[in-house]
Structure 1
Amino acid sequence: MRIQVSSLTRLVRYSFSILPMANREKNKKTLLELVKLPENSCCADCGAADPDWASCTLGIFVCLNCSGTHRNLPTVSRIKSIRLDFWDDELVQFMKANGNRPAKNFYEKFVPVFYYQPHTDDCEVLREQWIRAKYERMEFTEKNTERPFTAGVYEGMLWKKGKDNGQFLERKFVLSVCDFTLKYYKEDESKGPKATISVKDLNATFQPEKIGHAHGLQITYCVDDHTRNLFVYNKNGQEIVNWFNAIRAIRHIYLKTAFPTASDRDLIPWTTRNYLKEGYMEKTGPLQREPFKKRWFILDSLDRKLLYFKTQLDAIELGVVFIGSENHGYSVRECVPKGTRGNKWKCGVIVETPDRQFVFMCEQERDQREWVEVLKTVISKPMMPQDYTTEANIRRRR
């Protein structure tokens, strides 16, 4: 009798140990099937492919990077691994009933057309504030025409890098729709703005590594056909993202005024844009007998400009190369130049234009391949009407 009771006890214990394991595998299989559905196969927040994590309180699938921000919102989002964590039946049913598409329809219902929605390779502050705006502040669940960055004027304090000493000093910035300008002031505002910048050629791009601050923003504009940079940051992540979207908002209004027949789909890429590639190369002069000098290059693919500066934090460009199309006599190729001097790097890139040949040297073959690839991307695109004006203006500067 004692043996029979012992055997029954072991059988019951075994049965209870098998059931949770069976549920675990069944629920894991269900989750893996859910995440393969087209609407769930990319991160709900940044679009990264094959998300491995999920918010079991929001009912969405997210990538590893975005899951980190969700963990910082414990009252809003509870994150679990769809492969490693235990999921009970109730949570799995909740995920089945929800998913990325319904969440997008609810949390992103009234996202302004100009508002930047980050991608997987964007910087952390953009992704973090996008997630907080959606789920913590719920900014887009109702129509809101009084957002701080959509008013006629947006102003505040930003830390700006000085042109001479390189120190960051706090300055007041004012963005105004009425005259399409961005102004900034020194300590004494009564003396007027230190600079008045037209929105016409304004661009903003996050550059945390270059600026040395997680919220670093590079503002670029044109003065007399020359490109200038402002490097700024704000200690508050929400505020610097508000500034970024305020610039996008005013740029969108300006572009709709300048091109009234263009659709939002056509205009949005021009509100702000990241540069196709940046980095150091060595450059020689037009005769190719001048010593090579190290310069920081930026390829702006929309404006078809290859800008170069002395350093990556220079305020004013040293020069610019227009990158036209193949049909207009432009080409690029790898090379090993002969007869040059002073170059420390050996991986050459030659850009042919109708006027002259440009020779650049890269430090490594990988850089060489990347520069040739991105330059070919620009050269392969047909030129737009405004590109001919840009080309003519650059030629007049020489």
Structure 2
Amino acid sequence: MGDRERNKKRLLELLQAEGTGNAHCADCGAADPDWASYKLGIFICLNCSGIHRNFPDISKVKSVRLDFWDDSIVEVAVVLQFMTHNGNLRVKAKYEARVPAFYYIPQASDCPVLKEQWIRAKYERQEFMADGKTMSPSDNREGFLWKRGRDNAQFLRRRFVLSAGEGLLKYYTKEEGKDPKAVINIKDLNATFQAEKIGNPHGLQITYRREGHIRNLFVYHESGKEIVDWFNALRAARLRYLKMAFPELPESELVPLITRNYLKQGFMEKTGPKQREPFKKRWFALDPQERSLLYYKNPLDAFELGQVFLGSREQGYEVYEDLPKGVRGNRWKAGLTIVTPERKFLFTCPSEKEQGEWLESLRDVLSRPLTALNLLTASAESGHSRR
């Protein structure tokens, strides 16, 4: 066996070594990483390796399987010893020693800006090391974001002011204006990155309740660090609110409630309550925490057309593949039916693949136990499914 094959075999053994954490990307948790940062001593996925290439003074990367690991490129014996001594868990313990509870740690499916700023915060700015400066949220944050107009597609510069102490987020149409255009209670706020939907790599969707409906704000900032800092500031304010609202709950149970991503989004066609109305194309978003299936005419609408609360199977909620006998969709034929105690909701999907994904996601929500918060949401949303 040549040196190259022997070195590659040793690296592959390190990837599977128990107790190292090497079987998952050190930064986003993706399974089976096949790249290594031999300067940091960690194994990472392809996507994260591309980010590491942007700061070669801190991290140097090579493919475990595709690149040559021989003495003509690096001192392989030293590198292998270094990789063996370190590994993902040991390095994470060093660079993630003090990650604040509110700070969002991206997963493999998250957008690139979240991953990039997480990696930069860890290794480049070293914000979470035990001997570094503790990252604590400020009670206030103020700055400008580009916000999409409610009635047009233009993004305009708007001043945003966050006061965690008051539990409020405000935005102003005039830079020096005293009267805010909107005052948003942190209690009702959610923030989620929606880069693809918004059409900007730094696109952030801020959602809140207004007069019984869901109001969406779509914003971005030119700086990836700035928009992620805003996101984490909102999360810090949310955690502060949750601790005051639920003082009896441990922090570990509150963290998953800070912000949430949609479980599934996409177009389906929907008919009305009589099941004789024409099927109309709508954009749907499934909120797993609030157990709501929201629908819009367009993905970037400011308000929803309606929402379907998804209770538990024990309460008579269910989802089935296909449509009732005698009902046909408009353009799409792959149907599904949501059954609630009040009525049946009928949908068609653009493909069988989409149908399968919706069925899996909806059944996931229905299988989750109901919480007191869910019951309050159901009461508030009853009667809001309209079109």
Counterpart-to-counterpart distance in 1, 2:193 and 2:381: 27
- Whether 1:197 aligns to 2:184 is yes
Q: What pairs with 1:1-398 in structure 2 (closer than 5 Å)?
A: 22-38=2-18, 39-83=21-65, 84-87=67-70, 88-141=76-129, 142=131, 144-145=133-134, 147=136, 150-340=137-327, 343-397=330-384
Larger mean Cα displacement after TM superposition, 77-86 or 275-284? 77-86
Q: CA offset at residue 342 of structure 1?
A: 6.9
How far residue 187 of structure 1 moved from its aligned partner, in angstroms, is: 2.0
Unpaired runs of at least 5, structure 1:
1-20
Q: CA RMSD in A?
A: 1.6
- Give, in whole Å, the separation in 2 of the partners of 1:329 and 1:385: 18
Contact 1:291 1:340 in 2 (8 A): no
Q: Which amino acid aligns with 1:70?
A: H
Check whether the contact 1:278–1:299 (CA below 8 A) recurs between aligned residues.
yes
Q: How big is the shift at 1:49?
A: 1.3
TM-superposition CA deviations, 1:107-140 (whole Å, max 9, x none) = 1111101111111111111111111111111111
Structure 1: how far apart are the matches of 2:26 and 2:375?
41
Distance 2:107 2:295 in 1: 27
Please give the alpha-carbon distance, in whole angstroms, between the structure 1 residues aligned to 2:135 and 2:118: 18
Question: Is contact 1:204–1:220 with CA below 8 Å preserved after alignment?
Answer: yes
Instruction: Answer yes or no: is the 8 Å Cα contact 1:337–1:348 preserved in 2.
Output: no
Q: CA deviation at 1:225?
A: 2.1
Identity %: 57
Contact 2:100 2:135 in 1 (8 A): no
User: Partners of 1:49 and 1:146 in 2: how far apart?
Assistant: 29
Counterpart amino acid of residue 179 in structure 2? G
Runs of 4 or more consecutive aligned structure 1 residues displaced over 6 Å after TM superposition: none
Alpha-carbon shift at residue 27 of structure 1 (Å): 2.2
Q: TM-score, normalised by structure 2?
A: 0.93
Report the Cα distance in structure 2 between the residues aligned to 1:238 and 1:289, rounded to whole angstroms.
Answer: 50
In structure 2, the residue matched to 1:17 is none
Secondary structure of the corresponding residue to residue 104 of structure 2: coil
Structure 2 distance, partners of 1:153, 1:243, is 11
Mapped partners of 1:52, 1:139: distance in 2: 26
Distance in 2 of aligned mates of 1:101 and 1:383: 35
Indicate conservation of the 8 Å contact 1:159/1:171, yes or no: yes
Secondary structure of 1:189 counterpart:
coil
Task: Point out the structure with the larger helix share.
Answer: 1
Letter matched to residue 39 of structure 2: T
- How far is 1:224 from its partner? 2.0
1:295 & 1:89 partners in 2: Cα distance?
A: 59
State the Cα distance separating 1:335 from its structure 2 match: 1.5
Unaligned runs of 5+ in 2: 71-75
Larger Rg: 1
Query: 2: distance between equivalents of 1:390 and 1:94?
Result: 53
Amino acid corresponding to residue 207 of structure 1 in structure 2: Q
Per the TM alignment, residue 51 of structure 1 is displaced from its structure 2 partner at its CA by 1.4
**1:146–1:28 Cα change, 3 Å:** closer
User: In 1, are the aligned partners of 2:323 and 2:346 still within 8 Å (CA)?
Assistant: no
SS in 1 for 2:43: strand
**What TM-score, normalized by structure 1, do the two folds share?**
0.91
Aligned 8 A contact 1:161 1:232 in 2: yes
Alignment-mate amino acid for residue 133 of structure 2: N
Tell me the distance in 2 between the aligned counterparts of 1:118 and 1:342.
38
CA distance in 2, matches of 1:341, 1:254: 47
- Partner SS, residue 31 of structure 2: coil
Aligned counterparts of 1:191 and 1:59: Cα–Cα separation in 2? 52
Q: CA contact under 8 A between 1:291 and 1:341: conserved in structure 2?
A: no
SS at match of 1:58: coil
Q: Contact 2:264 / 2:361 at 8 angstroms: preserved in 1?
A: yes
After superposition, what is the alpha-carbon deviation per residue over 1:277-312, rounded to whole angstroms, capped at 9, x for unaligned?
A: 011111111111111111111110110111111100
Deviations 1:54-113 (A, max 9, x none): 111111111111100111111111111223222421111111121112211111111101
Instruction: Tell me the number of residue pairs that the alignment of Structure 1 and Structure 2 aligns.
Output: 376
